Amino acid sequence: MTHETLNLAKQLIARPSITPQDNNCQEILAQRLKKIDFQIENMRFGEVDNLWARRGKSSPVLCFAGHTDVVPTGPLEHWHSDPFDPVITNNKLYGRGAADMKSSLAAFVTAIEQFVAEHPKHHGSIALLITSDEEGPAVDGTVKVVETLKARGELLDYCIVGEPTCTDQLGDTIKNGRRGSLSGNLTIKGVQGHIAYPHLAKNPIHLAAPAIADLAQIKWDEGNEYFPPTSWHISNINGGTGATNVIPGTLNIHFNFRFSTASTIESLQSQVHQILDKYALDYELIWELSGKPFLTPKAELADAMREAIIQTTKIEPQLSTSGGTSDGRFIADICKQVVEFGPCNATIHKLNECVEVNDISRLSEIYKHSLEKLLL
């Protein structure tokens, strides 16, 4: 399995699949899955290729989820080698997507192949949900596949997302949830005028300052066992014409919440509006929800992953909800238990992205052991 997983990872890395391009990576996976009786369904939405593959019709359904798209390479001259020519140096496999997340995709497939070979009459069903729109806008990828599955009543029992979760060594971290992301585009309206005649103008920056101070100080929630307290931060702020003698007519502020299951979208929005209204501001506020928080408590899936990791690596993994958003936020809509586990994330999105060669085969073993614990 070591040789097979490494070769498949290299085959996938060799295909430049900069988001939203798939460049036939999904076809490589599909051809292998067809040989072990998977039903293949290609779902293309817009410019995005998605793959839904399933073996079996009964429950429980264990789904492996991931993405074939990768981020741009950055300056090629700063790579030690061609980012789409996978090479091994000092027992590390280099290439764009090596860690995020083509090694996980390879490990998914070889783990399933080995499991099916040993247990052709396993219980339940095995599925794969693969997209080429995770690193991009994420509007025509996993979210659309989930909507399609939900519309036809096709739900999942367990889902393992192959995102790179580990920090120092393979096995140290399982992500059992992620914070939600809620953004606001706020425009405070004033009256533009000459700075020498302030009585004829209204400075929106001055008007907004007390509200900004309140928003920066408020404690939105206490967090909980799995999540830190919700945070609110301004990411961009702009006002003025560029001239030093003009009071601006508007102030534009972009802000973002990273919020836990201790708060709701409605409660956060309500508190923001209450503060803005408290200061009688004339404003417009456009909200954008990038993802709801999701949480998988300790249950069958998290326990199975933990046992599989210990069995393979002898490491006790920690449950974590740190980091940004992932496609797990969409899958949680049709699956009560979603966890993320993959290789070390130290080099993801960086120049000279790489993964330990030994970790690739061990990752496949972990996925295989998880299959055994959940479907036997």
Q: What is the DSSP letter of 363?
A: H
Q: How far apart are CA 102 and CA 134, in angstroms?
A: 13
Residue whose token pair is 């839904």: 52
Tell how strand 180-189 and strand 246-247 pair up.
unpaired
CB 300 within 8 A of CB 156: no
4-19 burial, b for 16+ CB within 10 Å, e for fewer? bbbebbbebbbbbbbb
Q: Is 69 a catalytic residue?
A: yes
Q: Is 134 a catalytic residue?
A: yes
Read off the tokens for 348: 């993801």
* Rg over CA atoms, the chain: 24
Reply yes or no: is the peptide bond before residue 229 cis, omega within 30 of 0. no
Q: Which of 22, 49, 113, 134 is catalytic?
A: 134
Q: 121 to each of 55, 75, 116, 117, how far by Cα in Å?
A: 11, 49, 8, 10
Q: Counting Cβ atoms within 10 Å, is residue 354 exposed (0-12), middle (13-18) or buried (19+)?
A: buried
Q: Which of 22, 49, 69, 340 is catalytic?
A: 69
Ordered alpha helix ranges (H), the chain? 2-13, 25-34, 103-118, 142-151, 204-217, 265-278, 300-313, 328-331, 357-375
CA-angle at 236, arms to 230 and 238, nearest 5°:
140
Read off the tokens for 156: 């999942």
CA dihedral sign of residues 129, 130, 135, 139:
negative
DSSP string, 131-200: ES-SSS--SSSHHHHHHHHHHTT--EEEEEE----BSSSTTSEEE-EE-EEEEEEEEEE-B-EETT-GGG
Look at residues 184, 132, 153, 175 and name the one whose alpha carbon lies nearest to residue 294.
Answer: 175
Q: What are the residue numbers of the active site? A: 69, 134
